Amino acid sequence: MIGAIAGDVIGSIFEGASQKSTDFKMFQPYSIFTDDTVMSIAVADAIMNNNEDFITSLRSWGQKYPKAGYGGRFYGWLFSENPEPYGSWGNGAAMRVSPVGFAFDSEEEVLKKAEKTAAITHNSEIGIQGAQANALAVFMARNGADKKAIKDKLEKLFNYNLSRSLDDIRPDYSFEVKADRSVPEAIIAFLESENVEDAIRKAISLGGDSDTQACIAGGIAYAYYKEISEEIRKEVYRRLKPDMIAVLEKFEEKYLGAFHPQFMNK
State the CATH number of the domain containing residue 220.
1.10.4080.10
- Domain of residue 203, residue span: 2-264
What distance in Å separates the CA atoms of residue 187 and residue 210, rounded to the nearest whole number?
A: 13
pLDDT greater than 80 at residue 266 = no
- The number of folded domains in the chain is 1
pLDDT greater than 70 at residue 263 = no
pLDDT greater than 50 at residue 112 = yes
What pLDDT, on the 0 to 100 scale, is given for residue 156?
Answer: 98
- 232-to-5, 6, 30, 252, 258 alpha-carbon distances in Å: 10, 7, 16, 16, 19
At residue 40's C-alpha, the angle toward residues 38 and 44, to 5°, is: 115
Do 258 and 233 form a contact (C-beta atoms < 8 A)? Answer: no
pLDDT greater than 80 at residue 257 = no
What pLDDT, on the 0 to 100 scale, is given for residue 7?
Answer: 98
Do 236 and 209 form a contact (C-beta atoms < 8 A)? Answer: no
Return the closest-CA partner of residue 127 out of 161, 84, 96, 170: 96
What pLDDT, on the 0 to 100 scale, is given for residue 52?
Answer: 79
What pLDDT, on the 0 to 100 scale, is given for residue 17?
Answer: 83
pLDDT greater than 80 at residue 51 = no
What distance in Å separates the CA atoms of residue 169 and residue 229, rounded to the nearest whole number?
A: 28
Q: How confident is the model at residue 260 (pLDDT cuts 50, 70, 90)?
A: low
What pLDDT, on the 0 to 100 scale, is given for residue 265?
Answer: 37
What distance in Å separates the CA atoms of residue 79 and residue 83, rounded to the nearest whole number?
A: 8
Average pLDDT, whole number, for the chain?
Answer: 95
State the average pLDDT over residues 238-252: 97
pLDDT greater than 60 at residue 67 = yes
State the average pLDDT over residues 42-49: 96
